[in-house]
Amino acid sequence: MVRNRLCAASLAVILTVPAGWARKPGEPIKPGWNLFSRDQDIQLGREYAAQISRQVQVIDNRELQDYITRMGRKLAATPEAGDYPYSFTLINDPSINAFALPGGPTFIHSGLILAADNEAQVAGVVGHEIAHVALRHGTNQASKAQFMQIPAILAGIATGSNLAAALTQIGAQGFLLKFSRTAEDQADALGARMMAQAGYNPVEMARFFEKLEAQGGSRAPQFLSSHPNPGNRVKAVEAEIAVMPRLSFTDGNQAEFERVKAQLAKLPPPRQQQQPNALSGGGASPSGTPAASQQRPESLNVPPPSGRFRAYRGPNVSFNYPDNWEVFGTQNSANMTIAPRAGVIQNANGHAIAYGAVAGIFPSPGRRNLANDTRALIEQLIDGNPGLRVTSNPRRARVDRRSALLTDLQGESPLRGQREQNVLLTVERPDGVFYVVFIAPEREFGDYQRTFDEIARSLRFAN
């Protein structure tokens, strides 16, 4: 039972790497915290790839496309690649760049191949990009940067919205291809392992990155703007190689590589591309209407929560919720939105939850401590939401015989001219902190009190 009555809110979570943490060569590297499911990564990649393919100049040469596809598939067939539906597309663009979208669509610029000394260097960049996909770095970055908006967006997708368009509207797409130094270090290591398994010399990846870094200044390749150097790349890759099983490495088929370079060098300059591209925004809503012109509603026609409850049974958590509400999310995701369909709205900032709750797991950034983890979560919530403020000290509670905390907050409602009364419920769990944020306009919160109490009271965990 929850010993305190709830008050309610909207939530945000961001992960930080503990001070002093360092990855050891050969250690398993796993995807980080993410509000998106694996299927949503794939959906998002397909939606953006369709847009990009209409805006870039895909090279119309079967031999060249087959060359890059064979190379990509060798790397994607390795166990670390994660069995995503990868595709590899060579485009006519003289800049030194390559990028992979969530879920696997990978684009390689012709300028990258022309700048490389051998096939292994190109394979190193492609393997690095595959590693970003396998480790889900793009949606991990978007989740951390837009943690207030993502739960509402994912709930909005269930109401018929396009995922890529929704992320474009709030600017979250800009984080899908912009990585931290930690992510770069992980992609270097995992990419090196995939290269070795595919038969390529992994150190060529680091040598090529060093070559790009040496250019520097205004001539620095485009690739480096979104792939910052984590430092000591060659030494880090050599440390990975030292703990690998003894394998026979090659730089690839040099004769074929030189033949491909010669053909690429003869291509005419690419035609002028339409701007902005699919990942640079543009300020339009999914319907094409400028987002700024969309007005926040003053009120919503949301039916009151039913007094009848149904049970949600997930793999790790179960609870009761009103039978006229829905649970938006997947059985395999630790994150979900519990709300009436009409309570998820679209406004000038994208999707927002005006009535309902958001739940998920916040992995502990250090040694597990409920008070410290709750404080860290709240600090990040306020940092990303300047209008939000804490209105009470955390109160102790018990949920399913576990220690819990309740913290009241207030912020601006997505309904025009209204304040939002919020509560954050945090519960100790083996894999971090389970959180629920209850959300309702301040003046209507009392009407939702019984519903929020029942959701919290009925929470049960699998272990």
What are the pLDDT digits (tens) for 215-245? Answer: 765 556 777 777 777 778 888 888 998 998 8
CA-to-CA dists, residue 449 to 5, 304, 356, 423, angstroms: 8, 11, 11, 11
pLDDT at 9 over 60: no
Q: Two tokens at 88?
A: 């590899």
Position 21 pLDDT exceeds 60: no
Residues 144 and 15: beta-carbon distance below 8 Å: yes
What does R_g of the chain's alpha carbons equal in angstroms?
A: 24
Chain position carrying tokens 């770069």: 184
**Residue 94: burial class (beta carbons within 10 Å; 0-12, 13-18, 19+):** middle
Distance of CA 394 to the CA centre of its chain: 30
| pLDDT tens digits for range 129-172 | 999 999 999 988 887 766 666 776 776 665 555 777 767 665 56
* Angstrom distances, CA of residue 362 to CA of 36, 62, 183, 318, 434: 14, 47, 19, 17, 6
Full-prediction pTM beyond 0.75?
Answer: no
Least confident range of 135-149, 382-396, 443-457: 135-149
Model confidence over 270-290: pLDDT tens digits? 876 544 455 643 333 333 333
What type of residue sits at position 324?
N
Q: What residue segments make up the domains of the chain, in order of their start?
A: 38-265, 296-461
How far is residue 148's CA from residue 150's CA, in Å, rounded to a whole number? Answer: 6
Read off the pLDDT of each residue in 316-340 and give the average, rounded to a whole number: 84
In one-letter notation, the amino acid at residue 345 is: I
Q: Kindly report which listed range (236-250, 258-272, 326-340) carries the lowest average pLDDT score.
A: 326-340
Residue 312 token pair: 């949600």
Are 5 and 423 in contact by the 8 Å Cβ rule? The answer is no
- The single residue listed with the structure tokens 């800049």 is 95
- For the chain, give the percent of residues with pLDDT over 90: 48
Give the residue-averaged pLDDT of 310-334: 84
**Does the 296-461 domain belong in CATH 3.40.1000.10?**
yes
Query: CA 86, CA 72: separation in Å to the nearest integer?
Result: 8
CA distances (Å), origin 459, targets 29, 295, 320, 375, 418: 32, 36, 7, 22, 30
The predicted structure's pLDDT at residue 398: 94
